[in-house]
Amino acid sequence: MRNRDRFLLALSVVAALGAFVLWRDLSLPERARQTAKTQVLIENLQLEREISGDLFRVQAKEARKLQDERVEASSLDVDANLRSGDRWQMRAASGSLETHGEIRLSDVFATNLRKGPDLDLEAKTVRWNPERRRWDLEGGITLRQGDMRAGGNSGMADPNGRVTLSGEAWATWQKP
């Protein structure tokens, strides 16, 4: 390798390092905002919130209150007492409580406690829609009630306990 080639290689390396340092300095405000989003970290959170007349009790192993007032949590237990008289108990791997009353849960197992046999529900994502007062369900939903099994790709559950499945829905019943 000649001296000229070595000089060009060294110049290229110095230019690349300079570009990296410049990028790092210019992106610092955005990176600082991302790490400053968490305002408060809470362990063993217990929260009670009324949304449109429905009462939600939430327990979480760990929660973060963000600057936009949203709460993100992990290992959630949710007890929802709806003004219709319906009661849902849910366990979720993670979730968030939005400022406008929306609740989003991931990897959910839920039970609708009602007169007669309980209705068990599993879904990848469950979202409480406060305007429509219903649970929107997504991602591999499975329902169990007594001898009945049903499932689908998406669906919804209203406050009266009626669950509607869609997207390649299926159902099976076994004779007792």
Whether 7 and 69 map to the same domain: the answer is no
> Does pLDDT of 119 surpass 60?
yes
Q: Which residue has the higher pLDDT, 14 or 87?
A: 87
* Whether residues 81 and 150 fall in one domain: yes
Q: First-to-last CA distance in the chain? A: 85
Q: Is the domain of 117 the same as that of 135? A: yes
State which residues form the domain around 127: 38-173
Residue with tokens 């369900």: 137
DSSP letter (8 states) at residue 15? H
> The pTM is what?
0.68
Spatial separation of the C-alpha atoms in residues 111 and 70, rounded to whole Å: 26
Torsion of CA 114, 116, 119, 120, to 10 degrees: 100
Least confident of 22-31, 58-67, 108-117, 134-143: 22-31
Tell me: do 50 and 83 sit in the same domain. Answer: yes
Q: Is the pLDDT of residue 31 over 60?
A: no
What pLDDT, in 10s, does the model give residues 67-118?
777 888 889 898 988 887 788 888 999 998 887 888 899 999 988 887 667 7
All residues at 6 or more sequence positions from 12 whose CB lies less than 8 Å from its CB, including other chains? none
At 80 the pLDDT is: 85
Question: Considering the chain, what is the average pLDDT of its residues?
Answer: 81
Token digits of residue 171: 């159902």
Bridge partners (DSSP) of residue 104 are 96, 127
Distances (CA, A) of 172 to 10, 20, 149, 162: 70, 59, 5, 17
| pLDDT value for 129 | 86
Number of domains into which the chain is organized: 2
